[in-house]
Homo-oligomer: A and B are copies of this chain.
Amino acid sequence: MALTDVDIAQDHTLEPIQDIAAKLDIPAEALHPYGTDKAKVDPTKLPDRGKKGKLVLVTGISPTPAGEGKSTVLIGLADALSRLGHRAAAALREPSQGPVMGIKGGACGGGYSQIVPMADINLHFTGDFHAISAATNTLAALVDNHIHQGNRLNIDPRQVTWQRCIDVNDRALRGVVTGLGGRAHGVPAETSFTITAASEIMAVIGLADGLADLKERLAAITVGYTYDGEPVTAGELGAAGALTVLLKDAVLPNLVQTLGGTPAFVHGGPFANIAHGCNTLAATRAALDCADIVCTEAGFGSDLGAEKFFDIKSRAGDLDVAGTVVVATIRSLKYNGGVDRADLDAEDVDALARGVANLERHVENIRHFGVEPVVALNLFPSDTEAERRWMADWAREFGVELAEAEVWGKGGAGGEALAEKVLAGLGEGSHPIYDPADGVENAIERVAFLIYHAGRVEYSRRAEKDLAALKANGWDKLPVCISKTQYSFSDDPHALGAPENHTLHVRELVPRTGAGFVVALTGDVMTMPGLPKKPAAENIDIDADGRITGLF
């Protein structure tokens, strides 16, 4: 029987986390071990090496059900760089626990390119998500308690925008009424829970620069509006200090290892759609402080995670991206070319030729940010010689570097060709594509026209009202986090390939004054997933000795 990811991960002998830290000269006083194989790193205790590492951003084509293996390639690439003698590190997002119970499929890579301890990382890990839930829900309780206890701030109960969250896929919490049961039990309100990854506090953790900045951002969170329409902040409720205390450890990056023994900073997991979708700035910075080359990821493709990486995260953290990898698979390109999921095993060069348009668009998009990408072709057993040859020819003709990667089955050894091409192409001078000072509308247009290839942007009536409110509150010069389906460059998830001249529909503009950006919602966004008919939870088990099965 084939080994599953969890088998491979559990059979692996991990290096003590102290040894992993030693590879990056992380001193003992900066390392807070959690068990023998996980640790938090205090960035304020890291020595100044007098130099920073080079940053490589791994992104992918538009995701398909065929699977691209972005995290797997990232981890394999980091291991390959280590094998080639470089002081490398990976920086990745933390997985959300809710989906683990829902649909099979992890967030720690796969095969022989995984981060470990995989089960722990996929579950509670070092408690960051739980701390974020606790802070989010404490703030919600403080808001409701304030209204209940006399409402000094004159908060309109119908205009409380702060939502509770929970790291469980629970569709029944999408629409709830709270505060029932009479006067002693609060003020009735219609509200909803999001999954923890969608809490603004997750985004705040993602961008915070130390405790003082964290507290300022938390204080700036808008929780709702008064009867007069004035915004009310967490700071006005006196909540910022307590929330910062709840998050004092969650703000520290976590250190684990890859199966190849490369240090991996795994920290923060904001929704890749309604938030910026990358690991924390703190983790990326800590990795750059310690390693010579750092491989990091952005959720989904160049139109979502990567765009936000350059326009939100890099801007906030003054990061320079030295190289970019766009991960593609022959299967997913064929899917983009119209092949049914069931038929992806069959050779189909014509479909590949049709679907490659999606990859081309992602390559061009990355170039808009001032970086020349390398295409990583993540090989699957079903890929044929003819298909692989076609891809090599395409790359030559299109004028982009392409490297095949076989990291799932071979780990770092299967990523060396990719690593060589990445190293050869390292540069500098990456940049965002808009200036927030030019306003929210400009930012949306720049992204829509340049990256999505939209022909026009249409605002709903609600969005127009939101825009007016943003201007009235002085929030219209913030960067924009566009929430769009990951399946298409357009806001129609069924428009695969590389659609042109479509209309981007902005439905709503949501200020995230703590995170420091405005979320522009296009299409429907579900911030609380549900469980499927047969939840993965039913297959998950553990024996009396602690051996886990059914976890991917």
Residues of chain A having any CB pair with chain B under 8 Å: 32-36, 40, 97, 101, 119, 123-124, 127, 130-131, 133-134, 137-138, 140-142, 144-145, 148-150, 166-181, 184-187, 189-190, 210-212, 215, 237-239, 241-242, 244-246, 248-249, 530-533, 535-546, 548, 550-551
Number of copies: 2
CB distance from A117 to the nearest CB of B (A): 11
Are B172 and A540 touching (Cβ within 8 A)? no
Tell me the bound Cα distance from A119 to B241 in angstroms: 14
Contacts of A530 in B (CB 8 A): 145, 148, 186
A422 CB to nearest chain B CB (Å): 36
Contact (Cβ within 8 A) A179 B185: no
| Cross-chain pairs A/B with CB under 8 angstroms, 8 sampled | A33-B36, A124-B127, A144-B171, A173-B178, A174-B180, A174-B181, A238-B538, A242-B536
Contacts of A34 in B (CB 8 A): 33-35
Specify which of B130, B141, B174 is in contact with A169 (CB 8 Å cutoff).
B141
Q: Are B245 and A540 in contact (CB under 8 A)?
A: yes
A442 to chain B, nearest CB (A): 35
- Supposing A123-B245, A170-B137, A172-B178 touch, asked if A537 and B36 sit within 8 A by C-beta, the answer is no
Tell me the nearest residue of chain B to A187, going by C-beta.
B172
Q: Is A244's CB under 8 angstroms from B185's CB?
A: no
Nearest CB in chain B: distance from A287 CB, A: 21
Q: Are B141 and A172 in contact (CB under 8 A)?
A: yes
Is B245 in contact with A542, judged by CB distance below 8 angstroms?
yes
A239 engages B174 (CB within 8 Å): no
Report the bound CA distance from A141 to B171 in whole Å: 8
Known: A141-B531, A241-B550. 14 other contacts (CB 8 A): A101-B141, A123-B246, A141-B171, A142-B535, A142-B537, A172-B179, A172-B186, A174-B185, A175-B179, A211-B544, A241-B542, A242-B538, A244-B542, A245-B541
Cross-chain contact A535 with B145 (CB below 8 angstroms)? yes
Given known A35-B32, A138-B168, A185-B175, contact A149–B533 (CB-CB < 8 A) = yes
Report B-chain residues with C-beta under 8 Å of the C-beta of A137: 166, 168, 170
Cβ–Cβ < 8 Å partners of A134 in chain B: 97, 124, 130, 167-168
- Is A145 a contact partner of B167 (Cβ separation < 8 A)? no
Check B178–A180 contact: CB distance below 8 A: no
**A450 CA to B498 CA, complexed, in Å:** 80
Q: Using A167-B134, A531-B142, A537-B242 as known contacts, say yes or no to A177 and B174 having CB atoms under 8 A apart.
A: no
Find chain B residues with CB under 8 A from A124 CB: 127, 130-131, 134, 246, 249
Of the candidates B130, B177, B242, the one whose C-beta lies within 8 Å of that of A177 is: B177
Pairwise interchain contact A248-B546, C-beta atoms closer than 8 A: yes
Minimum distance in angstroms from A377 CB to a CB of chain B: 35
Given the known A-B contacts A175-B181, A180-B176, A546-B248, are A242 and B540 also in contact in the complex, defined by CB atoms under 8 Å?
A: yes
Residue of B nearest to A35 (CB): B32
Nearest CB in chain B: distance from A61 CB, A: 29
Partner among B130, B180, B184 whose Cβ is within 8 Å of the Cβ of A127: B130
Are A150 and B35 within 8 A (Cβ)?
Answer: no
Contacts of A130 in B (CB 8 A): 124, 127, 130, 133-134
* Interchain CB contact under 8 A, B246 and A145: no
Kindly report which residue of chain B lies nearest to residue A182, judged by CB atoms. B175
Distance of A45 from chain B, by nearest CB (Å): 11
- The chain B residue sitting closest to A185, CB to CB, is B174
Contact assessment for A177 and B179 in the assembled complex, using a CB-CB cutoff below 8 Å: no
Question: CB-CB < 8 A to A123: which residues of B?
Answer: 245-246
A552 to B138, alpha carbons, bound, how many Å?
Answer: 18
Assembly CA distance A211 to B543 (angstroms): 7
Q: Do the beta carbons of B170 and A140 come within 8 Å of each other?
A: yes
Check if A540 sits within 8 Å of B241, measured CB to CB.
yes
Residues from chain B with Cβ under 8 Å of A544 in the complex: 210-212
Specify which of A40, A144, A178 lies most central, judged by the most chain B CB atoms within 10 Å of its CB: A178
- Which partner residue on chain B sits nearest A178 by CB separation? B172
Contact B150 A172 (CB under 8 A): no
CB within 8 A of A148: which of B35, B127, B171? B171
Q: Which of B36, B145, B168, B180 contacts A531 (CB under 8 A)?
A: B145
User: Are B141 and A168 within 8 A (Cβ)?
Assistant: yes
Whether the Cβ atoms of A176 and B176 lie closer than 8 Å is: yes
Q: Tell which of A186, A210, A539 has the most Cβ of chain B within 10 Å.
A: A186
